[in-house]
Copies of this chain bind each other. A is one copy, B any other.
Amino acid sequence: MLPRTLADGYRIWRASALPETRGRLAQLAALGQAPSALIVGCCDSRVSPETIFSAGLGELFVVRNVANVIPPFRPDGKQHGTSAAIEFALHGLSVPHIVVMGHSQCGGVKAYLNASEGSRGEFIGPWMDLIEGTKEDALARNPGLTGRALEQAVEEAAIRMSIRNLRTFPEIQRRETEGMLSIHGAHLDISNGNLNILDEETGSFGPALAAAE
Protein backbone atom coordinates (compact mmCIF):
# COMPACT_ATOMS: atom_id res chain seq x y z
CA MET A 1 0.00 0.00 0.00
CA LEU A 2 1.18 3.47 -0.82
CA PRO A 3 1.81 5.99 1.98
CA ARG A 4 -1.32 8.08 2.43
CA THR A 5 0.09 11.35 1.06
CA LEU A 6 1.28 9.61 -2.07
CA ALA A 7 -1.99 7.76 -2.54
CA ASP A 8 -3.85 11.06 -2.09
CA GLY A 9 -1.57 12.81 -4.56
CA TYR A 10 -1.98 10.04 -7.10
CA ARG A 11 -5.76 10.16 -6.64
CA ILE A 12 -5.72 13.93 -7.20
CA TRP A 13 -3.58 13.58 -10.32
CA ARG A 14 -5.96 10.98 -11.72
CA ALA A 15 -8.96 13.18 -11.07
CA SER A 16 -7.50 16.51 -12.15
CA ALA A 17 -4.60 16.47 -14.62
CA LEU A 18 -4.67 12.91 -15.96
CA PRO A 19 -7.96 13.12 -17.86
CA GLU A 20 -6.67 15.88 -20.10
CA THR A 21 -3.24 14.20 -20.33
CA ARG A 22 -4.55 10.76 -21.24
CA GLY A 23 -4.21 11.21 -24.98
CA ARG A 24 -0.76 12.78 -24.68
CA LEU A 25 0.41 9.90 -22.49
CA ALA A 26 -0.86 7.31 -24.96
CA GLN A 27 0.90 9.22 -27.74
CA LEU A 28 4.16 9.36 -25.76
CA ALA A 29 3.88 5.63 -25.11
CA ALA A 30 3.20 4.88 -28.78
CA LEU A 31 5.79 7.21 -30.33
CA GLY A 32 8.43 7.22 -27.58
CA GLN A 33 9.83 10.19 -25.70
CA ALA A 34 11.72 13.08 -27.33
CA PRO A 35 12.50 15.37 -24.38
CA SER A 36 13.84 18.82 -25.16
CA ALA A 37 16.53 18.72 -22.48
CA LEU A 38 18.50 16.60 -20.05
CA ILE A 39 18.40 18.15 -16.60
CA VAL A 40 21.10 17.15 -14.13
CA GLY A 41 19.58 18.14 -10.82
CA CYS A 42 19.81 17.53 -7.10
CA CYS A 43 17.68 15.06 -5.13
CA ASP A 44 16.61 17.90 -2.85
CA SER A 45 12.84 17.97 -2.45
CA ARG A 46 12.73 21.73 -3.00
CA VAL A 47 14.10 21.80 -6.55
CA SER A 48 11.85 19.69 -8.78
CA PRO A 49 12.81 20.66 -12.36
CA GLU A 50 9.33 19.84 -13.72
CA THR A 51 7.85 22.32 -11.25
CA ILE A 52 10.37 25.13 -11.80
CA PHE A 53 10.08 24.82 -15.59
CA SER A 54 6.32 24.08 -15.74
CA ALA A 55 7.16 20.97 -17.71
CA GLY A 56 4.60 18.37 -18.73
CA LEU A 57 5.27 14.64 -18.95
CA GLY A 58 7.60 13.90 -21.83
CA GLU A 59 9.44 17.22 -21.80
CA LEU A 60 12.45 16.74 -19.52
CA PHE A 61 14.80 13.79 -19.13
CA VAL A 62 16.01 14.12 -15.56
CA VAL A 63 18.89 12.60 -13.66
CA ARG A 64 19.00 13.57 -10.00
CA ASN A 65 21.79 12.80 -7.58
CA VAL A 66 23.12 14.42 -4.40
CA ALA A 67 24.40 17.91 -5.34
CA ASN A 68 23.81 17.51 -9.11
CA VAL A 69 27.32 16.28 -9.73
CA ILE A 70 28.67 15.07 -13.06
CA PRO A 71 31.76 12.86 -12.74
CA PRO A 72 34.47 12.96 -15.40
CA PHE A 73 34.40 10.49 -18.32
CA ARG A 74 35.78 7.22 -16.98
CA PRO A 75 34.72 4.20 -19.05
CA ASP A 76 36.22 1.51 -16.79
CA GLY A 77 33.43 -1.04 -17.06
CA LYS A 78 32.22 -0.16 -13.54
CA GLN A 79 28.80 1.26 -12.65
CA HIS A 80 28.48 5.00 -13.25
CA GLY A 81 24.81 5.91 -12.99
CA THR A 82 25.06 9.55 -14.00
CA SER A 83 27.31 8.76 -16.95
CA ALA A 84 24.84 6.08 -18.06
CA ALA A 85 22.05 8.67 -17.98
CA ILE A 86 24.16 11.07 -20.06
CA GLU A 87 24.92 8.31 -22.54
CA PHE A 88 21.23 7.44 -22.82
CA ALA A 89 20.26 11.09 -23.33
CA LEU A 90 22.82 11.45 -26.14
CA HIS A 91 22.72 8.15 -28.00
CA GLY A 92 19.11 7.18 -27.33
CA LEU A 93 17.41 10.58 -27.30
CA SER A 94 19.70 13.10 -29.05
CA VAL A 95 18.78 15.78 -26.51
CA PRO A 96 19.68 19.24 -27.82
CA HIS A 97 20.21 20.81 -24.38
CA ILE A 98 21.81 19.84 -21.08
CA VAL A 99 21.16 21.93 -18.01
CA VAL A 100 23.18 21.42 -14.84
CA MET A 101 20.95 22.86 -12.13
CA GLY A 102 22.27 23.52 -8.65
CA HIS A 103 20.58 25.34 -5.79
CA SER A 104 21.07 27.23 -2.57
CA GLN A 105 21.47 25.49 0.80
CA CYS A 106 22.58 22.29 -0.85
CA GLY A 107 23.10 19.55 1.71
CA GLY A 108 25.75 17.85 -0.40
CA VAL A 109 27.82 21.03 -0.60
CA LYS A 110 27.45 21.53 3.16
CA ALA A 111 28.67 17.98 3.71
CA TYR A 112 31.70 18.73 1.54
CA LEU A 113 32.50 21.99 3.36
CA ASN A 114 32.05 20.46 6.81
CA ALA A 115 33.71 17.16 6.03
CA SER A 116 36.68 17.74 8.26
CA GLU A 117 34.44 18.45 11.22
CA GLY A 118 32.96 14.99 11.51
CA SER A 119 31.97 11.79 9.82
CA ARG A 120 31.97 11.88 6.02
CA GLY A 121 29.44 9.08 5.66
CA GLU A 122 30.21 5.86 3.89
CA PHE A 123 28.83 7.09 0.57
CA ILE A 124 28.32 10.85 0.80
CA GLY A 125 31.98 11.47 1.63
CA PRO A 126 33.40 9.72 -1.43
CA TRP A 127 30.60 11.11 -3.60
CA MET A 128 31.34 14.68 -2.61
CA ASP A 129 35.03 14.12 -3.32
CA LEU A 130 33.91 14.69 -6.90
CA ILE A 131 33.73 18.42 -6.22
CA GLU A 132 37.10 18.62 -4.54
CA GLY A 133 38.79 21.88 -5.40
CA THR A 134 35.61 23.93 -5.65
CA LYS A 135 36.20 25.62 -2.29
CA GLU A 136 39.59 26.77 -3.54
CA ASP A 137 38.04 27.91 -6.82
CA ALA A 138 35.38 29.89 -4.95
CA LEU A 139 37.90 31.54 -2.64
CA ALA A 140 40.29 32.32 -5.49
CA ARG A 141 37.50 34.24 -7.22
CA ASN A 142 36.41 35.96 -4.04
CA PRO A 143 38.81 35.68 -1.04
CA GLY A 144 37.40 35.98 2.43
CA LEU A 145 34.00 34.47 1.79
CA THR A 146 32.45 32.65 4.74
CA GLY A 147 29.17 31.10 5.83
CA ARG A 148 26.19 31.18 3.49
CA ALA A 149 28.06 33.29 0.93
CA LEU A 150 30.86 30.72 0.73
CA GLU A 151 28.32 27.93 0.39
CA GLN A 152 26.70 29.63 -2.57
CA ALA A 153 30.06 30.34 -4.20
CA VAL A 154 30.94 26.66 -3.85
CA GLU A 155 27.57 25.61 -5.25
CA GLU A 156 28.33 27.75 -8.28
CA ALA A 157 31.89 26.45 -8.58
CA ALA A 158 30.52 22.89 -8.48
CA ILE A 159 28.24 23.66 -11.41
CA ARG A 160 31.20 24.97 -13.38
CA MET A 161 33.19 21.84 -12.47
CA SER A 162 30.34 19.54 -13.55
CA ILE A 163 30.21 21.32 -16.89
CA ARG A 164 33.97 20.89 -17.28
CA ASN A 165 33.57 17.19 -16.49
CA LEU A 166 30.71 16.92 -18.97
CA ARG A 167 33.06 18.16 -21.68
CA THR A 168 35.45 15.28 -20.98
CA PHE A 169 32.88 13.00 -22.66
CA PRO A 170 34.02 12.74 -26.32
CA GLU A 171 30.44 12.56 -27.59
CA ILE A 172 29.58 15.79 -25.74
CA GLN A 173 32.54 17.55 -27.30
CA ARG A 174 31.60 16.34 -30.76
CA ARG A 175 27.97 17.38 -30.51
CA GLU A 176 28.75 20.74 -28.95
CA THR A 177 31.30 21.50 -31.66
CA GLU A 178 28.79 20.59 -34.34
CA GLY A 179 26.18 22.87 -32.80
CA MET A 180 23.86 19.95 -32.01
CA LEU A 181 24.02 20.40 -28.26
CA SER A 182 24.22 23.34 -25.92
CA ILE A 183 25.14 23.25 -22.27
CA HIS A 184 23.74 25.48 -19.56
CA GLY A 185 24.47 26.05 -15.89
CA ALA A 186 21.71 27.25 -13.56
CA HIS A 187 21.40 27.95 -9.84
CA LEU A 188 18.08 28.18 -8.01
CA ASP A 189 17.70 30.22 -4.84
CA ILE A 190 15.19 28.10 -2.95
CA SER A 191 14.31 30.90 -0.56
CA ASN A 192 12.65 32.97 -3.28
CA GLY A 193 12.55 30.91 -6.48
CA ASN A 194 15.07 33.08 -8.33
CA LEU A 195 16.95 31.23 -11.04
CA ASN A 196 20.38 32.47 -12.11
CA ILE A 197 22.19 31.39 -15.25
CA LEU A 198 25.90 30.82 -15.73
CA ASP A 199 27.73 33.16 -18.09
CA GLU A 200 30.56 30.91 -19.22
CA GLU A 201 32.73 33.84 -20.31
CA THR A 202 32.94 35.28 -16.81
CA GLY A 203 32.04 32.24 -14.74
CA SER A 204 29.46 34.24 -12.83
CA PHE A 205 25.70 33.79 -12.55
CA GLY A 206 22.98 36.30 -13.46
CA PRO A 207 19.16 36.42 -13.65
CA ALA A 208 17.51 33.95 -16.06
CA LEU A 209 15.02 36.55 -17.19
CA ALA A 210 15.68 40.15 -18.13
CA ALA A 211 15.08 42.60 -15.31
CA ALA A 212 11.90 44.06 -16.79
CA GLU A 213 10.03 40.76 -16.76
Contact = CB atoms under 8 A, between A and B. Distances in A.
Interface residues of A, number: 114
A36 B177 CA distance: 31
A3 B79 contact: no
A70 to B, nearest CB: 10
B31 A32 contact: yes
Given A127-B81, A180-B26, A33 B50 contact: no
Given A20-B182, A29-B191, A208-B7, A197 B2 contact: yes
Contact of A9 (B13, B31, B53, B123): B53
Interface string A48-91: 10111111111111111110010100010111111111111101
A166 interface: no
B193 A121 contact: no
A45 B58 contact: yes
A139 interface: no
Contacts of A186: 2
Nearest to A78: B126
A143 B121 CA distance: 38
Q: What is the predominant secondary structure among interface residues of chain A facing chain B? A: mixed
Contact of A28 (B46, B51, B69): B46
A115 interface: no
A93 B92 CA distance: 20
B193 A43 contact: no
A113 interface: no
19 contacts: A2-B197, A6-B36, A9-B54, A11-B12, A17-B51, A23-B94, A25-B191, A29-B104, A33-B45, A34-B58, A43-B85, A43-B89, A44-B61, A45-B60, A50-B50, A79-B80, A80-B126, A84-B108, A84-B126
Closest 5 CB pairs of A and B: A23-B96, A29-B191, A9-B53, A84-B127, A35-B45
